[in-house]
Amino acid sequence: MSPVANSAVRDRLRIAIQKSGRLSEPARALLASSGLSWRESRDKLFCYGESLPVDLLLVRDDDIPGLIAEGVCDLGIVGRNVLRELINEREESGKPAAFREWRALGFGGCRLSIAVPDVWDWQSPTQLAGKRIATTYPNQLRAWLRTQGVQADIVMLNGSVEIAPRLGQADAICDLVSSGATLAANQLKPVLDILQSEAVLAGPAHPFADARADLADLLLRRMDGVLRIRDSKLLMFQAPREAMNELLQLLPDAEPPTVCAVDGADTLALQALCHGAMTWQRLEDLKRAGARGLMVLPVERMLA
Ligand SMILES: Nc1ncnc2c1ncn2[C@@H]1O[C@H](COP(=O)(O)OP(=O)(O)OP(=O)(O)O)[C@@H](O)[C@H]1O
Ligand SMILES: O=P(O)(O)OC[C@H]1O[C@H](OP(=O)(O)OP(=O)(O)O)[C@H](O)[C@@H]1O
Ligand SMILES: [Mg+2]
């Protein structure tokens, strides 16, 4: 059987990820941290799962939602901007989405924004009425314009959207923005975000009815473990008992800590998983409030 052939009942899970692009490396890193290892095919399009029966298909990101909809792949890692576009396209034509966002993954962050020439005096979306707006995301733009009650012409472009106003192809654009440098270089300014995007795990709208259900559950539990502690650190210190209340107030981002008595009952030792950044400033504040022997440790894995 060809490794990518589709069939109704499967005992291996197949995940589509971007072959080469912004999401490729972080997607692979997340799956590897979740305990997957694989052997890559010679054409570098398919990775055979070795540690678990979970295979990877390496594709263009735009193809991922469609591959899930067709059942060729079970799950996919893709930008919410891409997933949402196909969901909106299907809604427009009265088709159910057949897939949905299972998890936000915390990387590949960007916004889908309306941008207009720097020289515009921007007041409100009504200024877009009758204008031409260039975008790669016509379905999301159309849906947003509808919610605003604005009629505008959508100019569909597959790339180099930012240059469209300078070329006279469009008056404004709707495109992905991260740092804003591309807009600035094209004398444009972002005025409204219509979507906050990041990479997501996409999966079917309905649960699996075969061995893939258990595999997907296992993978999700592991991914949740990785995501939960991605920016977390284990904080350890000792402090006099009477300082502990004030110290805990300095740790609003901590999970309920483990506290035990040392040195009779006067000194307490604390360890807590903290989700916010553990900066020098915070450590110095803790020290001023009585903490001693402060240690910040990386957390590799967590199983709740
Ligand atoms: N400037 C950016 N900063 C952060 N994330 C971004 C940025 N631009 C795009 N992204 C996110 O990364 C995803 C992939 O971007 P990339 O540029 O690699 O896609 P692509 O050129 O369409 O790749 P492919 O060849 O797979 O079609 C986007 O769909 C979006 O979710
Ligand atoms: O706000 P910024 O940080 O400048 O990022 C925004 C740009 O990034 C993406 O393009 P990318 O760099 O991937 O190039 P391409 O899509 O044109 O290939 C996106 O399509 C924008 O053009
Ligand atoms: Mg693409």
Q: Domains along the chain?
A: 13-108+199-228 (3.40.190.10), 110-197 (3.40.190.10), 233-298 (3.30.70.120)
C-alpha atoms less than 13 angstroms from C-alpha of 169 in its C-beta half-sphere: 13
DSSP letter (8 states) at residue 283: H
- pLDDT of 135-186, one tens digit each? 999 999 999 999 999 999 999 999 999 999 999 999 999 999 999 999 999 9
pLDDT of residue 300: 85
Give me ligand 3 centre to Cα 8, in Å: 28
Q: What is the pTM of this model?
A: 0.87
Residue closest to 200 by CA, chosen among 106, 136, 59, 110: 106
- pLDDT of 58-91, one tens digit each? 999 999 999 999 999 999 999 999 999 999 999 9
- pLDDT of 304 over the 80 cut: no
Mean pLDDT of 242-259: 95
Residue nearest to atom 16 of ligand 2 (CA): 159
Residues measured by CB to lie within 5 Å of ligand 3, the ion: 61-62
Average pLDDT, the chain: 94
76 lines ligand 1 (CB under 6 A): no
pLDDT band (50, 70, 90) for residue 2 = very low
Residues 6+ apart with CB under 8 A from 194: 112, 113, 114, 140, 141, 144, 174
pLDDT of residue 3: 45
**Cβ neighbours around 238 below 10 Å, total:** 16
pLDDT of residue 4: 44
- pLDDT of 276-302, one tens digit each? 889 999 999 999 999 999 999 999 888
159 lines ligand 2 (CB under 6 A): yes
Give me ligand 2 centre to Cα 176, in Å: 7
61 lines ligand 2 (CB under 6 A): no
Residue 159 burial by Cβ neighbours in a 10 Å radius (0-12, 13-18, 19+): exposed
Give me ligand 2 centre to Cα 168, in Å: 20
3-state secondary structure of 90: helix
56 lines ligand 1 (CB under 6 A): no
pLDDT of residue 9: 67
